[in-house]
Chain A
């Protein structure tokens, strides 16, 4: 493997409640550094992705062989009509190009970070930007587009249809996708060509041991339960899952089933479900993985996924997936892996659960299919080989 000088550009880095894109950046950066590359991360001083307030000191530090440069976030330059434009975009209503630009200018930006790229563009072989939706990616990738790669973490959402992003996808040197359906979505939306696109993703490793009983004991779980892990919000369909479980419990009293919710974000649990839905919140990683192992299935109701880290983790822990069939990415994973079931509405959700509960050994067989899939396609070894092939494809 050739030694390369690579800089990741990500709005936040090394924070505890990082999203999927930040976890991906950290995982890949550390692996590339461990395999002899010189890896830097250019990021902001922000910790909270709602306020984007400067939290960390600007400057340089080294985290697990990766040099992290932090730059202050610019004062927000949100136009007066930012909220109204955002509202219209999120509803899927078309907005004028100048409104799109005003909206992205109101996102998170850091002029010192862009200056750093401009001044050091010759020092690095490439700058890898992620995810696509942030100001740092849009403006940063315009500084040295011939050296810019994009890991978009793209979902099928109204924002992805903005003209400003079509321009960004067209100007960068190459795009690294997390999954095949994500790449197909980009081809449909932006006409992304094979010569500038590759599927890479991130890698996963099974833990040395899982202790499902520890999780059950700690939270007093005596029945089968579905596990949800991740941000709890409307965009991830957490309220829909709660409603599905409420309806299931009411319609199937002979099948006791609970829902355990992990992660951050507020959830509203209907009072009549207080005994069936357990909100555990944020827990440590070991316990989370024990939770996967103890669950009947990991339920991923979100349609906004480009990879789904929790699905991969659950498969390694021995739990099958139960995913939203309207999400091309997770349903594709389940079909390819033979590792889980997909529902497109409540009826299929209920029937999938009854099928899982009624077929002894199916849970384990699905999970085994998922585990083989992760080991084959999303092990660090497989992923790093794909990164190497992509760098060669993009001539970096």
Chain B
């Protein structure tokens, strides 16, 4: 195939910037900077763009590796406004804090289960890939 386009215009080096951005993301992931993010809506939308069974598996594997570590504290409570808005938020937050005492054990067990499940699925997928090759 003849390449009719020139490669690499002068000016900035986008490929180098992209590598730097990837490194920054990796460092932030390691440092737990993104742990406070709720990306469930993002994940659902990204999933809807997946086109084939192979893409679906690849995407799902990536997502479960990113999301197995559920965060008990990640529960945004918003005010719907009005005169009762602020007291309602205060009350809901108080109830949530009280419930946390009882639900903590359940969450930690779920996290342990998620972790083992993700390891098992990823490992099975690797074995399947190796067998297919």
Contact = CB atoms under 8 A, between A and B. Distances in A.
Chain A interface size range: 35 or more
Contacts of A144: none
Interface in B6-53: 6-15, 17-18, 20-22, 24-25, 28-29, 34, 36-39, 41-42, 45-46, 48-49, 51-53
Interface string A348-363: 1001100100000010
B1 interface: yes
A370 to B, nearest CB: 8
A58 interface: no
A334 B15 CA distance: 9
Main secondary structure of the interface of A (DSSP, over half): helix
A180 B3 contact: yes
Given A157-B51, A183-B1, A348 B21 contact: yes
Contacts of A239: 45
B5 interface: yes
B96 interface: no
A368 B9 CA distance: 10
A337 B9 contact: yes
Interface in A93-128: none
A351 B10 CA distance: 24
Contacts of A341: 14, 17-18, 21
A335 B48 CA distance: 27
A365 B2 contact: no
A365 B18 CA distance: 15
A183 B2 CA distance: 11
B78 interface: yes
A341 B14 CA distance: 7
A372 B45 contact: no
A335 B11 contact: no
B12 A366 contact: yes
Contacts of B34: 347
A347 B29 contact: yes
Given A272-B78, A336-B8, A194 B1 contact: yes
A298 B19 CA distance: 21
Contacts of A237: 45, 49
B14 A340 contact: yes
Contact of A377 (B1, B5, B17, B37): B5
Most chain B CB atoms below 10 A, which of A158, A240, A341, A373: A240
Given A158-B51, A199-B4, A351-B24, A373 B37 contact: no
A92 B51 contact: yes
B39 A346 contact: yes
Contact of A180 (B5, B12, B24, B46): B5
Given A156-B51, A338-B10, 14 more contacts: A180-B5, A240-B42, A240-B45, A243-B41, A247-B37, A247-B39, A336-B8, A336-B9, A337-B14, A338-B11, A342-B18, A346-B39, A368-B11, A376-B9
13 contacts: A180-B3, A194-B2, A199-B4, A240-B42, A247-B37, A303-B49, A334-B14, A336-B7, A347-B28, A351-B21, A355-B17, A355-B24, A377-B5
